[in-house]
Amino acid sequence: MGRPDLRHAPRAGDHQNRLDSLHREFDGIVSFERPWRDYRDGFGDPQGEFWLGLEVIHQLVSQETHDLRIELGDWEGREAHAQYSRFNVSDEADGYRLNFGDYTGTAGDGLGAYQKYSNAESPETPLDYHKGRAFKVSKERQGWWYGDFTLSNLNGPYINSSVSADVHSTIYWIPWSRYSLKSSRMMVRPASFVSGRG
């Protein structure tokens, strides 16, 4: 299974309300333990499990402002979502750095909830652990925007049961569940369509 064909990437809704899928993992058929090249170029089957590819994601969200929606499912049948305004991924020269705006949703802020204070900043200024992080592929060959503390990894290995979430051992989103997730999906939509300005 090679690079996903963007012409067949799943979309929901009409042109004014389209959602472009970036990632989907739900049954473990596609391995997400991949080298950097695969995370850059994309892999899997857009009709099944896949990662669209950092370069395509960068090009897609650089054309105009996009919002990110993440949908999660657990082994008890529960579902939750996280939405981020102004989602952006920089280019390869900048490490496909992650940036985003405000969070809303029911899953908790798995990209920006863990906050720290830097000596160089005012103690009243929280800094997000994932925001501004470059995309990395770990020694276990899993790609994500890893920070000093990682509250999420939707590209972790698929575990076919509910187990305690551990870094690099499963798909996880700690603010919502401390156990492995059954499914995850990432989608973007132009912000102008969300607000009805499209």
Rounded Cα distance, 66 and 86, in Å: 5
Higher pLDDT, 29 or 2: 29
> Which residues, in sequence order, are bridge partners of residue 82?
70, 105
What are the tens digits of pLDDT across the range 17-64? 567 999 999 999 999 999 999 999 999 998 999 999 999 999 999 989
CATH architecture of structural domain 6-194 = Alpha-Beta Complex (3.90)
What are the tens digits of pLDDT across the range 168-196? 578 999 999 989 999 999 999 998 874 44
What are the tens digits of pLDDT across the range 83-136? 999 999 999 999 999 999 999 999 999 988 543 322 233 334 344 444 567 888
- Ramachandran angles phi, psi of 29, nearest 5°: -65, -40
State pTM to two decimals: 0.81
Rounded Cα distance, 7 and 173, in Å: 30
* Confidence tier at 166 by pLDDT (50, 70, 90): low
